[in-house]
Chains A and B, each alone.
Chain A
Amino acid sequence: MSVLDVLRDFLVNDLHWDPRRAPLTPDFALIDNGVVDSMGIFMLVSFLEEQFAVEVKDEEIVPENFGTLGAIAAYVERKRQPA
């Protein structure tokens, strides 16, 4: 499974987004549409840290990295690159 698919599954199964309300395309706005709220973001951050073995810094929890599925996937890929 691609990173995008893993993330989509997480949003549906753990954050309980109903895909019938709106499909989770890579550019679908996660915050404005209420897919991820103030609690969801922390579940999501913990999930990323566990699933992809990355360390998410406070200052990285920003819309540029978490605003859409595509943004989160790109962020995870960047974090997984060896420094």
Chain B
Amino acid sequence: MPLIIKDEYPEVLFREDGKRLDGREKNELRPIKMEVGVIKNADGSAYLEWGDNKIFAAVYGPREVHPHHLAKPDRGILRVFYRMATFSVFDRKRPAPGRREKEISMIISDCIEPILFLELYPGTSFEVFIEVINADGGTRCASTTVAALALADAGIPMKSLVSAVAVGKIDGKIVVDLSGIEDKAGEADLPCAITWYNKEISLLQFDGDMDLNEMSEFLDLAKDALGRIHQIQLEVLKSKFLTIQEKSDEIIVNKENQGES
């Protein structure tokens, strides 16, 4: 039977003043908040709030491979498990992982692999677990961004971070960072990610239609937005170590004071 309130989309995605329904300009990102070290048991972890998306990521590794036959004698393997909570979407999702989750896991894994030095860890695995507890459009990009942060938090050697965002076309106009409604009611959607060590595209999907001019506009807009996301990632990581530095400074000062008195 259907639900009592129906999941309906508006017909127009721009307000009269030219802004988007949530009040954003075309090239404006939703508010992003990130945090590292949120899951104490994990080797590395991160939490991300991106608009109404809420996502946890945890990294375990390098560790023994289960099942053992997946181990590679010359290098480590990266396994990403992207999952959504049953209550993260409008219609309750079935608890078992579906085809969509498996595909996105693979896309994210392929996106992240270039930044790691897997050849230095033969016979081991790195496992990245991503749990979306609230979804509102662009979860694969948000998940990639938070997974990179969790890997960095785990202290795993990396060539650089990777950041991801979706660009799209709504009501004929090209905009950055589609929200849930814009994603469902819009015409085109292009999630992409950049690995910063070579500034190349590492995740790319597209659904919709575009001409060549639009494609270059899409990619330019994405690059600009990705730069801003990268800055946030770097600041979050830095602030973790600054906090540790401040604490150790405090301890040193306290000890010195005790020595004087």
State whether these chains interact: no
**Chain A residues engaging chain B, CB cutoff 8 angstroms:** none
**Chain B residues engaging chain A, CB cutoff 8 angstroms:** none
